[in-house]
């Protein structure tokens, strides 16, 4: 079975071949954002995670406190169901969900997408974990993983991919979460994290499993 990293590397390679100018622009932005890429603003190991209550795709409110009452929680921030790298990541996590549950943990995925009919109909909504809507990336900001998307990236989404992010997010298209995953122990303390402003790079599910085994 191929790892998530192998899958995302293949998609990056295909992107470089199909749209080299855009991918070079992404590379340049990431170089400029090196400090942010290293997670200087993100929730640090040993920090208590900020509490939040967000709606899922059915509009039901879900709170971090209630999730933690059942055990450790994996919190992963993703850009949206329209992002192919996000879909790869969440599918990879879904494939390990049984093992995550066996280790007493729960998974919650958070994006700025508004919880409407389009969200309930997409592929992510069929996955067996909580998918929450963080409009304006407010909770992502509290975790220190919200960033202002460069204009050329937004232009690419609108012109080349025909994505109206403003409509998808019901408002703010400029602020999105960077790909970030946190493992919280049952006290809500961050014991493991993966933070990278390069949206093409994601945490490996096995690393998360290994951390959960330590907690167990």
- Catalytic amino acids? 86
- Closest to 208 (Cα-Cα) out of 107, 111, 140: 107
* Distances 149 to 33, 79, 91, 119, 174 between C-alpha atoms, Å: 11, 11, 25, 22, 5
How do 73-77 and 130-133 pair as beta strands?
unpaired
CA angle 123–127–131, rounded 5-degree value = 90
| Cβ count near 11 (within 10 Å) | 14
Could you report how far apart the first and last alpha carbons of the chain are, in Å? Answer: 26
Alpha helix stretches (DSSP H) within 19-150:
20-32, 34-37, 64-68, 84-95, 97-102, 117-121, 138-142
> Which 3 state secondary structure label does DSSP give 199?
coil
The answer for residues whose C-beta is within 8 angstroms of residue 189's C-beta and 6 or more apart is: 46, 47, 48, 49
Where is 168: in which H helix or E strand?
A: helix 165-168
């Amino acid at each position: 079975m191929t790892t998530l990293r192998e899958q995302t590397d293949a998609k990056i390679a295909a992107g470089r071949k199909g749209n080299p100018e855009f991918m070079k622009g992404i590379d340049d932005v990431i170089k400029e954002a090196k400090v942010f890429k290293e997670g200087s603003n993100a929730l640090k190991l040993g920090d208590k995670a900020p509490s939040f209550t967000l709606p899922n795709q059915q509009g039901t409110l879900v709170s971090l406190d209630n999730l933690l009452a059942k055990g450790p929680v994996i919190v992963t921030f993703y850009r949206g169901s329209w992002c192919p790298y996000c879909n790869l990541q969440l599918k990879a996590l879904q494939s390990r969900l049984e093992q995550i549950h066996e280790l007493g943990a729960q998974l919650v995925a958070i994006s700025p997408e508004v919880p409407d009919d389009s969200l309930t109909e997409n592929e992510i909504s069929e996955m067996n974990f909580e998918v929450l809507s963080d409009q304006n990336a407010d909770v992502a900001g509290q975790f220190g993983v919200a960033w202002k998307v460069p204009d050329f990236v937004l232009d690419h989404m609108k012109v080349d991919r025909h994505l109206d992010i403003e409509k998808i997010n019901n408002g703010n298209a400029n602020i999105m979460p960077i790909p970030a995953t946190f493992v919280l122990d049952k006290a809500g303390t961050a014991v493991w994290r993966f933070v990278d402003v390069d949206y093409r790079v994601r945490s490996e599910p096995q690393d998360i499993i290994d951390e959960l085994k330590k907690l167990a």
